[in-house]
Structure 1
Amino acid sequence: MKFTDHLWNAALPVFDKIITHPFNQEMMSGTLPEEKFKFYIYQDSLYLADFAKALATAGTKANTSEQLLKFLLFAQNAIIVERVLHESYFQEYAINIDGGKAPGCFAYTNYLLAVSAYESFEVAVAALLPCFWIYKKVGDHIFANQSTPNPYQNWIDAYAGEEFAVSVNNALDICNMLAEQASETTRQKMTEAYITASRLEFVFWDSAYRLESWDV
């Protein structure tokens, strides 16, 4: 069994809650209120900016120049997606960009930035993996079960598409390669990081559905 199979099984209860969360269920049926989608897209743009930084930071710890190049490419792609959000969704939905990070986004991005800065390359890769893998799994699930026509078709197509699948597979291959050469202690830390980031993926979607804001 590949190490990523172990990771998937370890966090499967979290993924099940993500798939059945009202945000993704209503995205799938096309009934998600526009206000919640707008909130999500804005938070996602803030998330991606920091995700790119975390990817680049992790890449500087890579063991090979090939791994470094792939992580720098991941970071570049995250920035490109963030720009596309501004150029398309922000204009289409007239999204307000003055709100700042909601608590869920703040917690997730700061976790990834901290892990990428202070943990080993192996642990950072495991923490960054859910944003690739879980998003692809969610996109595929929604694409396969969606109601059509769907007002959020462009988002669904992006995360269920083959171009995104290439990045996901590259991230999975790197994680498996690192795990094969890592100690049992490091693999345990990788597992813990993956589960934590998966939980924060759930928190991110839940935050958008609740239109989460700071109470103080």
Structure 2
Amino acid sequence: MTFTELARKEAARYWDGSFEHPFVQSLAAGKLAPEIFRYYLLQDRYYLEHFSKLYSLIAEQTEDQAVQAQLRENAENLKLGELAIREEFFSELAIGDKEILETAIAPTAYHYVSHMYRQLIDGTPNSAFAGMLPCAWLYQEIGVRLIEAGSPHPLYQRWIETYAGEAAAEGIKKERALLDRLYEESSKEEQQQMIEAFVISSKMEYAFWEMAVNLEKW
């Protein structure tokens, strides 16, 4: 069994929980409360800011040239795709600098980002890379699941479309192939670190939906 097959199996309950989560289901139905989506976007802004930085940091630490190239491509795609869409959302919802500064980072957003940075200290570049995959892969699967029916809410429909395209699927395919190879080349200890990083990130993805619907505060 490859790394991504094994890791996905280990994290299955959290992925299934994400697919059925009230946030995701309400978004698809067009019934997600505006204040919940707004809070999600504000927390996601913090998360994606660091997610982009992590791509660059991991690329600096790894010696694998194929991984370096993929991480830099991921960072550029994030800038041109998801981050650009988020800027449009912020503009349309009139989310400005004042609101951003006055909105405290929620515990889950803080812990998720901290978990990924920790891989660069206590783990390895490979485990750090593994911990990045659940976000993109899970969102891509959610996009594919939701795109056929779509959402009656224009903003939520655009959120779905961001992750349902062929480019996203191709990116995940390439990333999975790299991680599967890295796993095969790693020691047993590093393999376990990669699995643990992936599973924790999957848990945090589920917790991120919970954070949003509960408007989580410290």
Q: TM-score, length-normalised on structure 2? A: 0.90
What is the aligned partner in structure 2 of residue 10 from structure 1?
10
Report deviation, 1:12.
0.4
Secondary structure in 1 matching 2:66: helix
Deviates more, 1:109-118 or 1:31-40: 109-118
Who is 2:86 aligned against? Answer: 85
Query: In angstroms, what is the RMSD of aligned CA positions?
Result: 1.7
Between the aligned partners of 2:189 and 2:136, the Cα distance in structure 1 is: 24
Q: Which runs of 5+ in 1 are unaligned?
A: none
**In the TM superposition, what whole-angstrom CA distance separates every residue of 1:22-72 from its partner, at most 9, and x where no partner exists?**
101101111111111111112111111100111111112223222212112
Alignment deviations for residues 62-118 of structure 1 (CA, whole Å, 9 cap, x no partner): 2322221211221233334324412x1011112232213211111111111221344
Asked whether 1:181 is paired with 2:216, we answer no
State the percentage of identical aligned residues: 30
8 Å Cα contact 1:55-1:75 kept in structure 2: yes
Taking structure 1 as the reference length, the TM-score comes to 0.91
* 1:44-193 correspondence to structure 2 within 5 Å: 44-80=44-80, 81-86=82-87, 88-95=88-95, 96-98=99-101, 99-148=103-152, 151-193=155-197
CA distance in 1, matches of 2:71, 2:155: 32
Secondary structure of the residue that 1:207 maps to in structure 2? Answer: helix
Q: What are the ranges of 5 or more consecutive residues in structure 2 without an aligned counterpart?
A: none
Report the number of matched residues. Answer: 213
Q: Distance in 2 between matches of 1:39 and 1:202?
A: 16
Q: Answer yes or no: is the 8 Å Cα contact 1:54–1:116 preserved in 2.
A: no
| Distance in 2 between residues matched to 1:67 and 1:178, nearest whole Å | 9
Amino acid at match of 2:142: V
1:19 aligns with: 19
